[in-house]
A and B are shown apart, each in its own frame.
Chain A
Amino acid sequence: MTAALEAAECGKQVILVEKTPTLGGRTAQLYRYFPKMCHPTCGMEINLKRIKGNPNVRVMTMTEVTEVTGSRGNYAVTLKVAPRHVNENCTACGDCGKAVASEIADDYNYGLGKVKAAYLPHPMAYPQRYVIDPSIAGTAEGEAAKAACKYDAIDLGMKEESVQLTVGAVVWATGWRPYDANKIQPYGYDRYANVITSVEFERLADPHGPTGGKILRPGDGKEAKNIAFIQCAGSRDENHLRHCSRICCMASLKQTQYVREAWGDEGKSTVYYIDIRAIDRFEDFYQMVQKDATVSFVKSKVARIAENAANGNPVLHGVDTEGYHRYATEHDLVVLAVGMEPEVTGVKLPDDIILDSSNFIEGSKDGGMIGAGAASSPLDVNRAVQSATAASLKAIQVIHKTASTEAA
């Protein structure tokens, strides 16, 4: 959104292509930001307002780039638009949702809850328009949803479309995804209900989340007060992600404060870490958390997790390396600070895109395509915005230079 808006507000024409049904990306799924503990939706409201008011931005949701040909200054982009089955007539009145009974996994809550198969992804969703899940598109339920709509907004016959565009520069702001925690075998994410990921924990703490903001563990709905945070779950690891994902230390420090917010002095957070990377002025947040009596730190990469079958508590095994102390510690809930994997990992990209060893986008050989934000490096929101602003100017430079060459 930043790359698009910054260019648009310089007077350039921008097409913003988004794979999911709404804008906002992963930040829209965060409860609070570090270090201010403010809400991501606040900045999103401003950005959405900018988008709504700016005629230079055209937003295409549920759309993916399938091919880019051509070169700097003159790219032909092929887009694949998935059927939303809901057109611009939708007023988000919600009648279709009421007419539908089947439920699907709630992506907004990382599958921690369910949502109707005719749904508005979340209260801040933009475009503010419902989505009919493909699973009911050809069914009686789909018809029921259509019948419930007074505004002729539901089109069950919508088909996948292919769209061609010509553009001068391409900014890849494709972001990241949480590393698949199932691959970290010793931590038992696939086996133990009370081992969750950091992104899931955001949803548990969020009043818009599946528990209404109560920190209840998934295994048995019990209040989780004694929580372990395991750093570098997948990051800094030759067996998983080779890079450091940068945000996870600060994210866990932030999440210890969710525990405090929820339970006060009764809460207990333990952070298991290798190095606390509270870089630059975030250091004061770390110092603040260190002074919090409910938070303790153990310098250790946890070796493995077992489960206490009697109460469902995860038991962490490892060694505190500061002085060599062996531990087997039981917690109510374990939060894995999972790393950032580029969303484009495993996706076929145009040939001249340059990736680094972790699949982050460095750009294209001729400079006409630019990586931005977390697609270019594991970045926090602030740095991602900075990077996207810079990427936006690089794109403008491409347009400017190729246009002036053409003119000459």
Chain B
Amino acid sequence: MTKLIYAAIISAFINNLVLTRTFGTNSLIRDSRDYGSAIRLGVSILIITSLSSVITWPIGRYLLEKFNLSALETIVFLLIEAAVVWLLLALVRKISEKKYQQLSPLLTLTIANSAVLGIILNNVSVGYSFVRSTVFSIFGAIGFGITLILMAGIRERIRYNDVPQPFEGVPILLVTAALMAIAFYGFTGLI
């Protein structure tokens, strides 16, 4: 149990996906405009990653590896991700048509998000057990969401600051991410 708690803290803070492994940097920059979009993306990535990781682990271990088809991992996992997104969208549509219209473009783009595929591929290639890989996916996605929300907050402050003209837009966000990453290295002392 303590091992799992350690694994959770490590995957959410110490090995933070965006800041130490740069998975999903694009969504960090594109979707952190305000708290609303950051939370929406964080929650959808959490749901999609945990569901797809639960499905992909047995398929990767017992189907692809057994029949020596590991080369097909990437495309099989991408299709599973797409299926999960499609199911979620069908569910949202049942609940409300308006929400569906709102979430459809965001969720479709999540299929091609490097954070989701990165977590799933990493789980299989490192060879974690089922429980460990599920914990890693859930807390990895939570860490990603936290980073997104923090970024949205910092962005709100940047809006009122005088940024040097060439650094306006993406460069200042990258510098912010760098400083956040250095701050996150402080968590290494936690365990």
Answer yes or no: do A and B interact. Answer: no
